[in-house]
Structure 1
Amino acid sequence: MARRLRPVGLDFIEDAPVRLVFDTGTAAPPEAVYHALAEEVTGWPAWFGAVTLARPTQGGAGREIRLRGGVRFEETVMAADPDQRYAYRVDTTNAPGVRALLEEWRLTPAGSGTHVRWTFAADGPTAFRLGLAAARPGLGHSFRTAVRALDRQLTARRGAGQ
């Protein structure tokens, strides 16, 4: 059953009790990465293996996300700064334990490519926090695998002249 989470602002990225931060790079420029993240929401399942459904809601101000295993999120887009960052807050979920969740994708030019930093900011009871700490390696692997797949997709597009 979906539960409503505590609404948090962008400052939660810095203040959350649990902050998992992962970094990697792409050969694609920031504008292409941002476009895939924020403007082609329905394309997430093609490059982020954990995502089975992604669709914009509320005219693009929100998102519906479904993950493998049946976890669902209804989200509000909190920041959509072209070529710089994309952030969203989870408003409702069926995931157990979580009280608040905000994710941010920060994009920085790096030569001809992009440095991508993903911050997963969350709050929940002690058991949830400990579980997230234990899940850190898996989340990092999932992030890096997803960004590599996105980079391959964007490189193929550039090669095809799109």
Structure 2
Amino acid sequence: MMRRLSPVGLDFAESAPLRMVFAAGLSAPPEAVYAALADDVGSWCAWFTGVSRIAPTDDGKGRSVRLTGGTRFRESIMAAERPEHYAYRVDETNAPGLRALLEDWRLTPGPDGGTLVRWTFAADGPAPFRTVMQVSRPMLGRAFRDSMRQLDRRLVTV
């Protein structure tokens, strides 16, 4: 059963009780990385670990996401500033314990023409949820790095 989460704003990326920030360098330029994140939403299944289905909703103002384990999210796009910033908030989910979730993607040009990708996972939930997420940090970091490698390979061959 889906339930509503707190409607946090972009400032939640800096103030959330649980913040995990991951970074990776890609050889693809920021415009290509941004397009994969924001414009080609359906392709996330091909490169983001754990995403089994994703589709834009509300004329591109939102997204519907399903993870491989059955977790579902209904999201609202909070920032779409080409080519440096993309963020979305989870409005509804079936994930237990989650009170609020915002994911914030920042893209910075790299010195070699590539992109530095910084992903902030900002969440709130009761203490047991935060503990489980902290323990899961290495796995989430690995999933992010693997996903960025997959995305970079995909963008370089396109």
Q: Shorter-chain TM-score: what band?
A: over 0.9
Aligned Cα RMSD in Å? 0.5
Corresponding position of 2:144? 143
Identity value in percent: 60
List runs of 5+ in structure 1 lacking aligned partners.
158-162
Q: Distance in 2 between matches of 1:135 and 1:49?
A: 15
Quote how far apart the aligned CAs of 1:7 are: 0.4
Quote how far apart the aligned CAs of 1:87 are: 0.2
2:10 corresponds to 1:16: no
1:34 maps to a residue whose letter is Y
Quote how far apart the aligned CAs of 1:83 are: 1.0
2:144 maps to a residue whose letter is F
Q: Give the paired residue count.
A: 157
Quote how far apart the aligned CAs of 1:101 are: 0.3
Q: Distance in 1 between matches of 2:92 and 2:104?
A: 17
Corresponding position of 1:117? 118
List runs of 5+ in structure 2 lacking aligned partners.
none
Corresponding position of 1:5? 5
- Following TM superposition, where does structure 1 have runs of at least 4 consecutive aligned residues deviating by more than 6 angstroms? none
Quote how far apart the aligned CAs of 1:138 are: 0.4
1:119 maps to a residue whose letter is T
Corresponding position of 1:152? 153
Q: Secondary structure at the match of 1:83?
A: coil
Corresponding position of 1:160? none
